[in-house]
Structure formats: structure tokens, C-alpha cells
Structure 1
């Protein structure tokens, strides 16, 4: 992180703290202020990857703050948010209730349709994972509905998909495996968090397999062998 973003984060921290007290905000609203500070740099990057009239897909939307920020900067034709945890899904539905170009879906994107478990932290609102072996003892297990993005697109066809953001705390291999047809057809830019890194990810071989598939299907090769959680950008060769 650059000195600039560190300075901006610190400045916003003091401002947000003051507003949070004045407005007597609830815990989710306080978390949203925090995640907006954390995502300052990423939001700048994502904004530069988009043009007006583009289609943006937000996988693991949480409070929808990323989409909210991008809509302030770009006139996107459509945003589709996937958030499986009811409290965050409802928060997003309310936030975007008047936005005709935003669709919020109460699904986890994965590699097949079905019912799954997700582990939700009640202390850290950004720490929710489908990777059970990485869940901590204080996390709450929830039953959620999952669907593959390929199946979703078959039922809800689109003319284009320009950018997909994936933040699913280690389950990115499941998400990506469930959108192979979509990736091959639309060639979107993919902004993806790699959870845990190669040393700690319990399914690292599956991560490697899907990234290699992506590189062999029209995407620029990058070094994904990170040692800790890190964001990467996957560009189609045409870009």
C-alpha cells in the first residue's frame, strides 16, 4: 500500500469514527465504513478496469460497498451481486432497492447447484467462508443456497460481462470452476482474491488446477503462488 492510501485511510478513520458516534450507527454500518477504507485502493483499480455501459459482477458482495462506489464513478449498464448470507443480502437489497441497473441474488456462487454450509464470523463481518477446515470455533454455521454462474447465465443470458470481482475467502476455485463456460464465452477481466496463500490453503491443488485452466483458455499468465491472501487480476489475452 502506498503512503497516499495510508494517509487517506487514516484521515477517513477519524472522520468515520466521528460520524459513526454522531449518527449512532449499528454494527453493520460501522463495518461498512471500515471496509470502504480498506477497499480504497482496490476500488480505484476496479474503476479503471471499467467503462460506462459495462456489466459488473460482484461475487461475495458483503454489504455491497464495492458496487456502490463503482456506481458513483461509472454509468454501468448492469451490476449483479451475489451474497449468500441473509443479513448482508437484505442489507444490499435495501441499499439498491431504487437502482434499476442492480440485481442482488441470495446465492453463493460455486461449482454446482445445491445447499451448502458457510461459516459466519459474528465479530469480523468480512470473515465468512465455505472452507470448513479454515473456520474458527467462534464462527456460526449457516445453511445457504448455491448455484454455478454458468447455470445462472443459462437462465439469465447476457450480451456481455466485462468485469467479475471475486472475494470468497478461499472458495474461489469453486466459483471459477462453476463459470468455465462463461469465462470461455465472454472473456471478462477477473479481479480475484486468492485466499490464505499456497502454504495454508487446504485445497491448493484445486486452486492451481483452475488457474492453469484459465491460462490455457485465453488469459495472460500471472504468478499466483502467493504466500498469503492476495488480490490478482486475470486479463484476457485480447486486453
Structure 2
């Protein structure tokens, strides 16, 4: 089960927030859903420029250059550079990439940060977060919005980027009466069923390939408990 399938099957017209939009891999297809409006956040300057070109002319897409966090201010975005090639999809505000060996250099970019709550959104149908370890801060800064709007959530959580993320984020969402799960072999599994040694092991070093668990589960889905029956009825197969 991927994020686009989940969000498409459960789509309701309204606002979709894409945190960590990068080149628009999800922004663009989400914008094509009936009645959808997309608010996309991408703080990495070069990625934001490409995203702006890709979204040119789309009246239902709004782009923001800020990072989302749990407090306003300025954050340092660390961008690892492997053998001279920037690894943009590893850019993180919570991971430094210090001490990863001679093949890794790090570019550091100061980016503005805001909270999602500061936007006082009137409604939000869905929220996708891919923030390379900063998912907890993004959600903390969206607490009031989650309580008010009750959106669907898709989350990329990886222990290799933030130790404890697969415990802390579901626990935070549980306090907001959200159920967090992953989809595997055509069925939903609660986060408690995640066998991390067998299903969630990978190197935190962008220069190390392989050595991952046989099944690497890192995409998680969360929904308000009051929508549990609907989600399970409408999203039952891979």
C-alpha cells in the first residue's frame, strides 16, 4: 500500500497538505483528485525551484518555502553530499551527517520554520509527512489542527533518521485518538506488530547500500479512530 493509493481511495474534496514535497511526486497527482487543493512545503531551495516549475499554472496548488516544526524560527537543513552528488531526499533538520566518512560532505542551509497551527487552517482532509526524522516536531506543531480538522495521515518514519520515531510518533497520535498502522500482504497491522529487527532495519549512512531488513516497512498510515470502520472498508487490498 503506497501513500497515493491510500489517499486516493479515501479522498474527500478539500485541502491536502504535503510536507516534504520535494519534486512533487505526490503533490502533482494529489492536485488532480476531484475537488482537491494542495498546500506543499519544500524548504530545500533547489528542490523548491523545481517544484515551482512543475506546478506552474496549477491554480489549486500553493507552495511554501518554510520547514514545518513545533516552533517558529530558523532551522539548519543538513544536506549530505555523496561523492560530490547532493542526496536531496536525505536532507534533514534533525540529522547532522557528521562523522559518516570521507565520501560524505554536508551542505548546511538555514531555512525558516513555522508551525502548521500558525496557519489556522479551517479544514484539512489529509496530511502527508516525509521530513527525514522531523515528523514528531511537525505533528507537535500541528496539534490543534489535528484536533480540529481530523485529517488522514501518511507518514514516512525511519529509525535510521530518528531513533525512537516509530515509538514516539504513534504514541503522540494515540493521545489525539488516532490509530497508526502499516499495510502488508493485503492486510492492516497495528504499529505494535512492527518487528523492527526483521522489518525496519537499514543503515543511517547514505553511502551504505544494502544491509537492510528483508522487508523494510517505513510507510505508516494514521486515521481518527472515529473513521476506523470507513478506512478498513474502503482500503482492504494492496
- 2:105 is aligned with 1:144: no
Which structure has more relative contact order (CA 8 Å, sep 6+)? It is 2
What does residue 176 of structure 1 align with?
139
Shift of 1:43: 2.4
Q: Is the 8 A contact 1:177 1:210 kept in 2?
A: no
What does residue 16 of structure 2 align with?
56
Separation in structure 1 between the aligned mates of residue 66 and residue 225 of structure 2, nearest angstrom: 30
Shift of 1:76: 3.4
Q: Pick the structure with more helix per residue.
A: 1
- 2:195 is aligned with 1:232: no
What does residue 94 of structure 1 align with?
53
Task: Map Cα deviations across residues 157-194 of structure 1 (whole Å, 9 max, x no partner).
Answer: 32x21110000111111111111111111111110010
Q: Pick the structure with more strand per residue.
A: 2
What does residue 223 of structure 1 align with?
191
- 2:90 is aligned with 1:127: yes
Shift of 1:66: 0.7
Shift of 1:114: 0.5
- Higher alpha-carbon deviation: 61-70 or 217-226: 217-226
What does residue 125 of structure 2 align with?
162
What does residue 103 of structure 1 align with?
62
Aligned CA distance change for structure 1 residues 203 and 113 (closer, same or farther; 3 Å): farther
What does residue 67 of structure 1 align with?
27
* Alignment map for 1:4-83 (pairs within 5 Å): 41-51=2-12, 53-72=13-32, 74-83=33-42
RMSD in angstroms over aligned alpha carbons? Answer: 2.2
* Structure 2, gaps ≥5 residues long: 181-189, 202-216, 228-238
Shift of 1:238: 1.6
Shift of 1:213: 2.8
Separation in structure 2 between the aligned mates of residue 77 and residue 202 of structure 1, nearest angstrom: 32
Shift of 1:202: 4.7
- 2:177 is aligned with 1:214: no
Shift of 1:203: 4.8
Shift of 1:46: 2.7
Shift of 1:207: 6.1
* Structure 1, gaps ≥5 residues long: 2-40
Q: Is the 8 A contact 2:170 2:191 kept in 1?
A: no
Shift of 1:91: 1.6
Aligned length: 190
Separation in structure 2 between the aligned mates of residue 78 and residue 117 of structure 1, nearest angstrom: 29
TM-score normalized with structure 1 length: 0.71
Separation in structure 1 between the aligned mates of residue 11 and residue 153 of structure 2, nearest angstrom: 12
